[in-house]
Amino acid sequence: MTIVSPRVVPAAKFGGTVVRLLNATGKGRLAFRSHAVESLHVDFEGIIGNRHRGWTRGADARVPYLPRDTVMRNSRQLSLVSVEDCAEIARRLEIGAVEPAALGANVVASGIAHFSFLPRATRLLFPGGAILSIEDQNAPCSLAAEALQLANPDKPHIKPAFVKAATGLRGLVATVEHPGQITNGSAFTARLPQQWIYE
C-alpha cells in the first residue's frame, strides 16, 4: 500500500465586506425566508430572535447517521452567502438574480473569491466584536429550491435544477465563537486555519 503524506496548506487571512444582513424569525416549513435588517446581535446561542437560535437542534436529512429529530449540537446557527456565489447560481439557472432572502441567508458577503469553500474552522472577525466560526459548507436542499421557485413563479425550471446549480455555491453555516454585533456595510476579516489535507 502506498502511503501519501498529508498535505499542509498554510494559514491565511483575507478581507471581505458585509453587503446585506437578514434575519428569519418565522416558524413553519418555508418560514426560513429572511428579511433585511441593519444589524445582527449575536451571542453564544446564535442570532437573537432567529428561528435557528439555540445550543441544539434536531437531526435532519443532512445527518444520515442519526435518527431524524435526535437532539444534537447546533452547528447551523447562522447561514452565510456571497454576492459572487449567488450571481453564479443565477447564471447557471439563467435567471436575473438569486435573492439571498429566499435562501434564508443571514449574512451576505462580498470580496472573497470562492466564499463557499472557506474551510471549516475559518474565523470571521467583525468590528462589533462578533466572531463566527465556519462549521461546514451549506449543501443546497429542496426547501431552498422550493422557496426560490416561489420567488420566481414564471421560471418553472428552477426547482428541479437548483440543487445541481447551487452545489459548491450555497454558502456556509457557522456558529458564534464570541458575541457581538454585525453591522451592514462593515468590513470583516476571514482568518483561515492551517489546513491538513488528508488524502
pLDDT at 135: 98
Q: What DSSP state is assigned to residue 186? A: -
pLDDT for the residue 33: 80
DSSP 39-84: EEEEETTEETT-TT-SSEEE--TT-TTS-TT-EEE---SEEEEEHH
What type of residue sits at position 66?
A: L
Does 2 fall in a domain? no
The predicted structure's pLDDT at residue 60: 87
Given the C-alpha cell 434564508, which residue does it identify? 104
Quote the CA–CA distance of 128 and 110 in Å, as a whole number: 18
Q: How far is CA 69 from each of CA 30, 48, 51, 63, 91, rounded to the nearest angstrom?
A: 18, 23, 16, 10, 36
Q: Is residue 52 part of a domain?
A: yes
Backbone angle region of 197, left / alpha / beta, with phi > 0 → left and psi within -120 to 50 → alpha: beta
Number of domains in the chain: 1
Is 109:81 a contact under the CB 8 Å cutoff? yes
Positions of the chain with pLDDT lower than 50, given as ranges: none
Q: Where are the beta strands (DSSP E) in 77-127?
A: 78-82, 107-110, 123-125
Share of the chain above pLDDT 70, in %: 97
Q: How confident is the model at residue 119, as a pLDDT?
A: 97
Output the pLDDT for position 31: 67
In a domain, 9, yes or no: no
Range of the domain at 108: 18-197
pLDDT score for 34: 87
pLDDT for 30: 62
Q: What is the pLDDT of residue 148?
A: 86
139 is a domain residue: yes
Kindly report, residue by residue over 158-181, the tens digit of the pLDDT. 889 999 999 999 999 999 999 999
pLDDT at 6: 92
Q: Does some domain include residue 10?
A: no
CATH code of the domain covering residue 152: 2.40.33.20
